Amino acid sequence: MYFHLILTDNCNLCCSYCRAKAFEETGGREETATTPIEIDPFLPSELDFDLSCLYNFLKKDPSATLTFYGGEPLMRTDLVSTIVREAPVQRFMIQTNGLLLDRLSPEIINRFSTILVSLDGPEGLTDANRGKGTYRKVIQNIKKIRHNGYTKELIARMTVNESTDIAGAVHWLADNPDYSFSSIHWQLDANFCDDFSHRRFADWIKKSYNPGILSLVTDWVDHMENEGKVLRWYPFLDPMDDLLKGRQSRLRCGSGYANYSIMTDGHIAPCPVMTGMSQYYVGHIQDADPQDLAVISVYGECTDCAIFGFCGGRCLYSNITKPWGKEGRHRVCSTVKYLYRCLTDAHPRVKDLIAGGAIHPADFSHEKFNGCEIIP
């Protein structure tokens, strides 16, 4: 089982698509959530339970993976270092903004099987979203951890919206040998808060995002043909792996059935973004069995969708909270349908490349539920 551990709600950035939205006027909700959402007002802002309680919980699962999450988890380097030294788990991962990576010792850093670092593409775009100087400091830290012996997976985790040229931004991060990213993932800043009426999302997906996806899928397969290498671009890699194996997928981030999140008070939520949404909690680390947690499934119109087995429902949190209403949600779904079409169109060519020996099915293998939502 995979667990996100929320160490703190605090963050040293105020990104435009994340914390800064709390200070924006919203357009109001066009649709109410199926069940009114209650948020626990007493959830502590910092981890507030005995670590032995966490370790007792984790040791009941022989294949536990622990991913540090926040806020910004490296605001608590003390806790990260202690838990990496002590927790009885199979592997550690971390999702970080990268600014404080230089505060962890190589001994701790080199224990991570995956590090996800948030960057949105070129310096100007990243700094406009995340704050001046962010890009350079993060790149400096990435070079440092590579220099200090970190050889495992390093994922650039992009948030994309109307200011993003998706093809240019992915290529920026993928093509520069200085960055040393092994993988790229991107997530649309869409249907996560009540801002649809402020956005020019529909126009952007038509004129920029979807054409960019088509060109990236073409580049991705061209690269297989020309270089014999499958680039680890998660929104393509995981779904294509399933298309090749003829498999359908549940919610691809794993939330609510393979991936759970431990809140700062020890309660267990289906997803790290469902912080304080106590009616969806599935237990507490004090007495829950990690291998027998209740399943929280995607429901509603997704279950009737023709591509449910490809998409898996995109996002459990959005399906519950419905911040963009029907129209906005359908716009987001249109991007998933477009991705599906691009990948199914590319599928025969990928199969031919495998049959011809240019690439191998094992080139698509990857760690599931590693913090990438997969469906942007």
Q: Give which of 153, 217, 224 is closest to 372, Cα–Cα.
A: 153
Q: Which helix (H) or strand (E) holds 118?
A: strand 112-118
Q: Which of 128, 214, 243, 307 binds ligand SF4 (CB under 6 A)?
A: 307
User: Residue 328 corresponds to which amino acid?
Assistant: G
313 binds ligand SF4 (CB under 6 A): yes
> Which residues ranging from 18 to 47 are in contact with ligand SF4 (CB under 6 A)?
none
The residues, ordered by sequence, that sit 6+ positions from 69 with a Cβ below 8 Å of its Cβ are 4, 5, 6, 7, 94, 95, 261, 272
| Interior angle at CA 250, CA 345 and CA 95, nearest 5 | 95
Q: Strand, helix or coil at 254?
A: coil
User: Residue 246 corresponds to which amino acid?
Assistant: G
Span near ligand SF4 by CB under 6 A; candidates 148-156, 236-244, 310-318, 349-357: 310-318
Give the phi and the psi of residue 6 in degrees, each rounded to 5. -85, 110
Q: Which of 243, 333, 354, 358 binds ligand SF4 (CB under 6 A)?
A: 333
302 binds ligand SF4 (CB under 6 A): yes
Closest contact distance (angstroms) between CB of 315 and ligand SF4 is 3
308 binds ligand SF4 (CB under 6 A): yes
Q: Which of 271, 339, 343, 346 binds ligand SF4 (CB under 6 A)?
A: 271
Of 305 and 354, which has the nearer Cβ to ligand SF4? 305
Question: Token pair for residue 292?
Answer: 């027998």
Cα(375)–Cα(228) distance, integer angstroms: 25
Of 76 and 314, which has the nearer Cβ to ligand SF4? 314
Closest contact distance (angstroms) between CB of 357 and ligand SF4 is 35
> Which residues ranging from 219 to 258 are in contact with ligand SF4 (CB under 6 A)?
253, 255
Count of residues engaged in binding ligand SF4, rule: CB under 6 A: 18
Closest contact distance (angstroms) between CB of 178 and ligand SF4 is 29
How many residues can be counted in the chain? 376
Q: Are 201 and 172 in contact (CB under 8 A)?
A: no
Q: Which of 317, 324, 364, 369 binds ligand SF4 (CB under 6 A)?
A: 317
Closest contact distance (angstroms) between CB of 365 and ligand SF4 is 22
User: Residue 265 corresponds to which amino acid?
Assistant: D
Q: Which of 311, 339, 343, 372 binds ligand SF4 (CB under 6 A)?
A: 311
273 binds ligand SF4 (CB under 6 A): yes
Q: Which of 202, 301, 341, 367 binds ligand SF4 (CB under 6 A)?
A: 301
Closest contact distance (angstroms) between CB of 82 and ligand SF4 is 26
The residue ranges that bind ligand SF4 (CB under 6 A) are 253, 255, 271, 273, 301-302, 305, 307-308, 311, 313-317, 333, 336, 373
